[in-house]
């Protein structure tokens, strides 16, 4: 079994990616969740739901989707009650639209964190997706599974690493995650 890396080692890799970020990548990353929140507010206005519901639907439908597709499916779900994605994701979105609190419906740490980062500009949550995992390890894993995130304390260890990097960089944890993601994606 592979040992879970120390948060300081992961933070060092994250800071290494941040050090390569261009000023434009920093601006884009810092704005990412603010822009996502604006999209959730727009969906809420268009479909007569709360921003909390719209952000919950976005998060529920997000697994395995690119952002542009995620937004398109959220819009379609709010308009029609259906989107062509995983049935479990649709069921969760429906529960949220029908009044269940998003954090009661969303079970996985990634989707819960994604919701929190979109909905709450002061969130302490950090969304650890495959990109956040890979760049913290300084190794692209392609489509392979990421068992370290499934291990007891694994997800939290990666969150701790992003928080350490954020403290060092003087940013919020979710901003560091987004800046690093934008930078890593472009490399």
pLDDT in tens, the chain (187 residues): 567 788 999 999 999 999 999 999 999 999 999 999 999 999 999 999 999 999 999 999 999 899 999 999 999 999 999 999 999 999 999 999 999 999 999 999 999 999 999 999 898 999 999 889 999 999 887 766 777 788 888 999 999 999 999 999 999 999 999 999 999 988 8
Residue 40 forms part of a structural domain? yes
Question: Over the range 80-114, which residues count as b (16 or more CB within 10 Å of their CB) and which as e?
Answer: eeebebeeebbebbbbbbeeeebbebbeebbbbbb
Q: State CA 77 to chain mean position distance.
A: 20
Residue 1 forms part of a structural domain? no
How many Å apart are CA 99 and CA 89, to the nearest integer? Answer: 16
Residue 152 forms part of a structural domain? yes
Which range marks the domain in which residue 84 is found? 7-186
Domain total in the chain = 1
Residue 181 forms part of a structural domain? yes
Q: Are 102 and 56 in contact (CB under 8 A)?
A: yes
Residue 2 forms part of a structural domain? no
Q: Are 180 and 14 in contact (CB under 8 A)?
A: yes
């Amino acid at each position: 079994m592979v040992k879970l890396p120390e948060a300081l080692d992961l933070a060092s890799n994250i800071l290494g990616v941040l050090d390569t970020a261009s000023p434009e990548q920093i601006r884009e990353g810092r704005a990412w969740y603010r822009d996502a929140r604006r999209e959730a507010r727009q969906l809420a206005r268009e479909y007569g739901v709360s921003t909390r519901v719209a952000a919950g639907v976005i998060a529920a439908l997000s697994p395995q989707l690119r952002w542009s597709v995620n937004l398109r499916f959220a819009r379609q779900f709010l308009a029609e009650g259906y989107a062509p994605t995983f049935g479990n994701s649709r069921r969760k979105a429906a529960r949220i639209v029908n009044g269940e609190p998003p954090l009661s419906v969303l079970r996985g740490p990634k989707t819960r964190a994604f919701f929190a980062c979109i909905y709450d500009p002061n969130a302490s949550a950090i969304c650890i997706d495959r990109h956040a995992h890979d760049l913290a390890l300084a190794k692209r894993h392609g489509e392979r599974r990421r068992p370290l995130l499934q291990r007891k304390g694994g997800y939290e260890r990666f969150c701790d690493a992003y928080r350490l990097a954020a403290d060092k960089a003087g940013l919020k944890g979710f901003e560091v995650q987004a800046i690093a993601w934008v930078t890593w994606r472009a490399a």
